[in-house]
Chains A and B, each alone.
Chain A
Amino acid sequence: MEALNNLMYGFGIALEPMNIAYVFFGVFAGTIIGMLPGLGPISALALMIPITFAMEPSSGLILMAGVYYGAIFGGSTSSILLNAPGVAGTVATSFDGYPMAKQGMAGKALAIAAYASFIGGTISIVFLMLVAPLLSKVAVSFGPAEYFALMVLGLTAVVSLSDKSLVKGLIAAVVGVMISIMGIDLQTGTERFTFGSAHLLDGIDFLVVALGIFALAEVFVMLLRGGGGKEQPRNAIGSLRLTRGEVKEIAGPIGRSSVLGFFTGVLPGAGATIGSFLGYSMEKRLAKDGDTFGKGNIKGVAAPESANNAACTGSFVPLLTLGVPGSGTTAVLLGALLVMGVTPGPMMLEQRPDVFWGVIASMYIGNIFLLVLNLPLIPLIARILDLPRPLLLSLILIFCMIGVYGMSFSVFDLLLLLGFGLLGLGMRLFGFPAAPLILALILGNIMEESMRRALQISGGDWMIFVEKPISLVLLVIALLSLALPLARKALQRALA
């Protein structure tokens, strides 16, 4: 009953005309940006921060959340039509979506993606509504030691679940923490790593790093890969209609993958990508016609699409209840919230119920928008894929520039943006994952603060981190998350 009352309160906020407009804009912009190959939800969110920083926090988060799940949905369109996923979370969709498009059933695949995303998103919001307040109650008892351990776990999980080298992931995370602690130490007023520059006294703005490492680096990568006007052939859309038999066939996979996707999203480090792959492989195993997966099976589109949208909603659980993002994307969301003056965490439910329940209620509205906007407008929206690539690259550059300058009014930050863009390019070329860096950048400061507060409480005794049971368990899981992939690799090598 309490959850329903809270939800009604949330709807009171989400249904304010301006907030409805923000959801609509967020979902629309997210769909378009997510559709463009290469630009994922992190870039989409980073590009939106300058727009939201002057907004009411509830409105800002409503818009950003819309961009996030809109981008996940938009990614499926380019996966299906071009076999070029705009977002990593929709790679699994292309396995069957693209073969369907080649068989002249692109419209059907897009419609299944829209329905599956809608249902996956909606089911997971119900779970979010039920799970988040419970977790908040548990998290209220967390002290600095537990928080430190939780953040260590968040970082190691993201590193260990990345498909790239574990060592390189850890290096990216350490560099992210190093960047985050630049500037004046707020506890002692001491300058650290400012190189005597007044520009660095406040540290480096996270937006500069996020836009540089993701959006600008993506432009550089596209330029290296040809960048010019090579247009990809796009498949015709065809009919969007589904038969009753097809609806029956996809109902089970959508339901199962939605639940699986949500809980995958809640776990730190996992997210839309892993959720969608798990959903896909689960349905492939369960299906009687599993051998037709990869050749245009409609369940192969329904499962990853419901799972990735559900995982996207699930990732809001640790963000809103613990204040600890579990992925690069939610790290950018946390950064945006901090810019707006809101610190998510267990107290947010009591201190900022407007933000908490407003964003949850807005997700219901956003998912409806996704469906009604995308189904009839898919053929029209898909034309954005025809935008000449050179024009697109220049527009991304301009958005990055205005994003940074509009926040800091600093030419120095524009040059820093360029530096981070080149660093991001280097990271891509040499196989360093970017998500751990951005997550560490957001968590680094809070991590150090939690560690120092815990040690102040214990009088400098490091045993505080292992004496507290929750902290100990979290640290052991963090250690295992790093050790298990290494052990598996060693075992594979020994067996080979």
Chain B
Amino acid sequence: MTRLNSNQILALLLALVALGYLAMAWQIPAFPLPRPIDSDLFPKVLGFTLLGLSLLLFLERPQAQDAPPAPDPEEQARPLLLRPWSRVVVTALAIAAYALLLVPVGFVLASTLLGVGLTAYYGYRRHGVNLAAILGVVLALYLTMTRVMDVYLPTGVLPF
């Protein structure tokens, strides 16, 4: 059996999404009063269009630009946590943690921790400059948003 190329794998995934979408579109309740076009028609058109496009994608040969670039051997030789994909995963986890800790910890502290921590993790070694730059930007943003634009940002554990 021949192996599926990247477009074909994506096409199958998109077809599944389209089928799920269509199933949900069929569950949209009808409006009690008769109308020429109800809430479900447009989603159904979209679902079938995506299904058709998935089929076309399945038949399309992938171009060079359609596949992720091969990993740089120099980058791959680094410790696991410092490899490119690890950096993406760690950043994504840091963002998720930031989202969950923002309210209890507060905007200033959470943003400073995120900024300083990630900058150091990405390899910047001048920690004093890192802290000063991130804290300066975070405080400037915080004061502009809360004092000038009257936007509430969580204070968290800090008193201001």
Contacts and interface: CB of A to CB of B under 8 A. Distances in A.
A260 interface: no
Interface in B18-62: 21, 24, 28-29, 31, 35-39, 42-43, 46, 49-50, 53-54, 56-57, 60, 62
B105 interface: no
Contacts of A188: 31, 35, 38-39
Contacts, number: 180
Interface residues of B, number: 69
B99 A414 contact: yes
Contacts of A429: 67-68
A177 interface: yes
A243 interface: no
Chain A contact surface mostly = helix
Nearest to A164: B65
B14 A171 contact: yes
A229 B126 CA distance: 12
B50 A174 contact: yes
A423 B132 CA distance: 33
A414 B98 contact: yes
A219 B66 CA distance: 19
B80 interface: no
Interface in A143-200: 164-165, 167-168, 170-171, 174-175, 177-178, 181, 185, 187-188, 190, 192-193
A390 B120 CA distance: 8
B10 A228 contact: no
Chain B contact surface mostly = helix
Given A224-B88, A406-B145, A395 B137 contact: yes
Contacts of B137: 395, 398
Interface of A: 51, 54, 164-165, 167-168, 170-171, 174-175, 177-178, 181, 185, 187-188, 190, 192-193, 219-220, 223-229, 388-391, 393-395, 397-399, 401-402, 405-406, 409, 411, 414-415, 417-418, 421-422, 425, 429-431, 448, 451-452, 455-456, 458-460
Interface of B: 6, 10, 14, 21, 24, 28-29, 31, 35-39, 42-43, 46, 49-50, 53-54, 56-57, 60, 62-63, 65-68, 72, 75, 84-85, 87-88, 91-92, 95-96, 98-100, 102-103, 107, 111, 114-116, 118-120, 122-124, 126, 129-130, 133-134, 137-138, 141, 145, 149-153
